Amino acid sequence: MLAEKISDDDYRVVMGDHKTVDRAKLDPAVVHALLAMEPGQITDIIQIEKAYTIVRLNKHIPTGKTKFADTEAQLRKELESKKTNQLRAALDEALRRKGKVEVL
């Protein structure tokens, strides 16, 4: 409760829940502590450079393969968004290169 009351982190309003976090994005000290924990456990205070943190392990999701059918919709949406952004950037560049502006 103390961390929730005095924390500077924006996640304090949801009891610090950051949802799923990729292991590569975590500080090595945090990863080391999490490897020794079971879901639901909370670490002692961990110092990361000049900051301090307390971590709760909600769940460990091991790496592995996902069925295409489970991710198809998300992948399709991401690819469509990426293609749309590429087309917009290309159009913007072409218009800037070839376009003429007249001041009336």
- Give strand pairing partners of 61: none
Chain centroid, CA 14 distance in Å: 16
- The domains of the chain are located at 2-53, 65-99
pLDDT (tens digit, 9 = 90+) per residue, 64-102?
A: 888 899 889 999 999 999 999 999 999 988 988 888 877
pLDDT (tens digit, 9 = 90+) per residue, 31-54?
A: 999 999 999 898 899 998 888 888
pTM passes above 0.85? no
Cβ-based burial of 43 (10 A; exposed 0-12, middle 13-18, buried ≥19): middle
DSSP class of residue 49? T
**Encoded tokens for 26:** 């975590």
